[in-house]
Amino acid sequence: MFEQLTPEEIEKRSFEIITRELEDTELAPDHADIIKRVIHTTADFDYVHNLYFSDGVVSKALRAIQNGVSIVTDTRMARAGINARSLARFGGEVFCFMADEDVALRAKTEKTTRAAVCMEKAVSLNRPLIFAIGNAPTALIKLQALIERKAVRPELVIAVPVGFVNVVESKELMMRTDVPLIVARGRKGGSNVAAAICNALIYKLGKPEK
């Protein structure tokens, strides 16, 4: 009943199907791989219209990755999904501080969310960073405030929280900044989408050998 296919062959055919189903849709050449990988991850073609890219964001992000940028994310799921091995070829690491005890303690003391505290902890790393936010609007709100007061200048913000409360608004708030941005406008997004966008960018620089 099933043809024997390797995961690599399945992925290749999947992208062929996605490309065929999008043949009447014009995608910017720089964005196409990213949009297709998000659709590959979700089977949801809404992302053709949801995803916003700031001017020149892809080339800026690729340069940052080549220069060894690290990625900070707001969920352990996204951290598990980002291809850390591929990123490590360029010197970058993947961080998620959500489960750290100092973060929990500080969130409690300061009556804020762990996600917001994680953004401050990331800034204190004092190194070039991509922020991949797939869950917490409070992370985006805090990050926007840190950008606004020039405490951090991200190489890229991937703003793709999912949900129904403060999500749409926090993404629109981030879009008022002038940092390089990829945003899933509207309610949709998620840790899987955040990881897919990171991987699509990393894979543009080549996939490692199996």
- Told to check if 164 binds its own copies by CB under 8 A, we report yes
- Told to check if 186 binds its own copies by CB under 8 A, we report yes
**C-beta closer to its own copies: residue 81 or 180:** 81
Question: In the window 23-82, what residues touch its own copies (CB under 8 A)?
Answer: 40-44, 75-81
Rounded Cα–Cα distance for residues 142 and 95 (Å): 17
What phi, psi does 2 have (nearest 5°)? -110, 135
**Are the CB atoms for 82 and 106 separated by under 8 Å?**
no
Q: How many residues bind its own copies (CB under 8 A)?
A: 46
Rounded Cα–Cα distance for residues 95 and 76 (Å): 9
Rounded Cα–Cα distance for residues 25 and 16 (Å): 14
- Spell out a b/e string for 174-185, using b for 16 or more CB atoms within 10 Å of the CB, else e: bbebebbbbbbb
Question: In the window 82-111, what residues touch its own copies (CB under 8 A)?
Answer: none
Which residues are identified as catalytic? 40
Token code pair at residue 67: 């220069």
Give least dist CB 75 to its own copies, A.
8
- Told to check if 124 binds its own copies by CB under 8 A, we report no
Q: Which stretch binds its own copies (CB under 8 A): 60-68, 120-128, 148-156, 191-199?
A: 191-199
- Told to check if 198 binds its own copies by CB under 8 A, we report no
**From edge to edge, which strands make up the β-sheet containing 181-184?**
51-53, 181-184, 156-159, 129-133, 70-73, 94-95
- Told to check if 195 binds its own copies by CB under 8 A, we report yes
DSSP 24: T
- Told to check if 113 binds its own copies by CB under 8 A, we report yes
Q: Which stretch binds its own copies (CB under 8 A): 53-61, 62-70, 119-127, 158-166?
A: 158-166
Q: Which residues bind its own copies (CB under 8 A)?
A: 1-3, 5-7, 10, 13-14, 17-18, 40-44, 75-81, 113, 115, 136-138, 141, 162-167, 169-170, 173, 186-192, 195
